[in-house]
Amino acid sequence: MNDLIYPIFVEEEIDAPLPVDSMPGVERIPEKALEGYVESVARDGVKALMMFGVSHYKNPTGSDSWNPDGLLARMVRKAKRAAPDLVIISDTCFCEYTDHGHCGPVEHDQVPNDVTIENLGHQAVVAIKAGADIVAPSAMMDGQVAAIRKALDAAGHPMAPIMAYSSKMASAFYGPFRAASGCDLKGDRKSYQMDPLNGREAIRESLLDEAEGADFLMVKPGMPYLDIIARLRQQILLPIVAYQVSGEYAMIKFAAAAGALDEPRIVRETLGAIKRAGADLILTYFARDIARQGF
């Protein structure tokens, strides 16, 4: 249980939790109920949260995400206040805050790398100043780890850790997440995320992030990419994080609901396999159930 991170979705300006149809058991938490929610999750035994905001103030750059009074900063502050011992990880990206759903601004039909990494630096500083323990850049821009490290150092946070989504594939397994996070993506992310079938590129990207100063490296999705986790484990000493993503969760939930799979056993087996491959930490939407019921 100590190795699991629970991803949550927080929406501003709603009064009641909103179930996510494609992810049974997952709901968007109203910002106004966040403190109570975080307290109860901590009481259940969850040790770390990855936070995603569902913004009502989207614009072409996603600038609400680096507004010190915007949703991202507020939810980090509230979560930290509610459960100071819980590790709060702030997903550092723009796709929940841009009106086109891309992970940065769009210019001439492209997401410009250098502007985006500068903005990621602004967002990371705001998240850390709000109290986040770790920032987790997931935009897959070149040089994003170095840019964030530089911005955090310059803002007086040289010790703030970076959990880099490093080997992140342009995967169809993120489908349910897009609904959960209210990301209405037009197009795809193939110009910045990686080709799912190119294993060598996945290793190269993680090694680059290590060289740029990442403190953790993440492989995402989890189960279809156990080979990447295992190969990385042999090459690096940094902690490896794996993300059992929304599509993996949905497959298990719907198959279990249809009576085809035994959910607790499958959860145990899939997370165990990710560990066996070499991951130290796992992001999973099953984390709260496991905290309550045991592994």
Enzyme catalytic residues: 168, 220
User: Binding pattern to ligand PBG, positions 3-42, x when CB under 6 A?
Assistant: ----------------------------------------
Closer Cβ to ligand PBG, 31 or 91, answer by number: 91
Following CA atoms 139, 145, 147, 149 in sequence, which dihedral angle do they give, to the nearest 10 degrees? 130
- Count CA atoms within 13 Å of residue 240 on its CB side: 28
Per the CB < 8 A criterion, the answer to whether 91 and 145 are in contact is no
Is residue 144 close enough to count as binding ligand PBG by CB under 6 A?
Answer: no
**Shortest reach from residue 15's CB to ligand PBG, in Å:** 25
Which of these, 22, 84, 29, lies nearest to 51 by C-alpha position? 29
Rounded-to-integer distance, Cα 50 and Cα 32, Å:
18
Which window, 58-66, 87-95, 202-210, 250-258, contacts ligand PBG (CB under 6 A)?
A: 87-95
Q: Give the residue closest to ligand PBG by C-beta.
A: 177
Is residue 119 close enough to count as binding ligand PBG by CB under 6 A?
Answer: no
User: Binding pattern to ligand PBG, positions 167-186, x when CB under 6 A?
Assistant: -------x--x---------
Please, is 57 exposed, middle or buried when counting C-beta atoms within 10 Å of its C-beta (0-12, 13-18, 19+)?
Answer: middle
How long a stretch of residues is the chain?
Answer: 295
- Residue from the set 86, 93, 126, 148 that interacts with ligand PBG by CB under 6 A: 93
Which of these, 164, 144, 140, 160, lies nearest to 152 by C-alpha position? 160
Rounded-to-integer distance, Cα 239 and Cα 163, Å:
9
**Shortest reach from residue 158's CB to ligand PBG, in Å:** 25
Which window, 56-64, 88-96, 198-206, 226-234, contacts ligand PBG (CB under 6 A)?
A: 88-96
Closer Cβ to ligand PBG, 150 or 178, answer by number: 178
- Residue from the set 214, 223, 232, 245 that interacts with ligand PBG by CB under 6 A: 245
For residue 156, what are the contacts with CB-CB under 8 A and spacing of at least 6?
none
Closer Cβ to ligand PBG, 91 or 133, answer by number: 91
Q: How many CB atoms lie within 10 A of CB 22?
A: 18
- Count CA atoms within 13 Å of residue 260 on its CB side: 6
Is residue 91 close enough to count as binding ligand PBG by CB under 6 A?
Answer: yes
**Shortest reach from residue 224's CB to ligand PBG, in Å:** 12
Site size toward ligand PBG (CB under 6 A) is 9
Contact set with ligand PBG (CB under 6 A): 91, 93, 95, 138, 174, 177, 189, 245-246
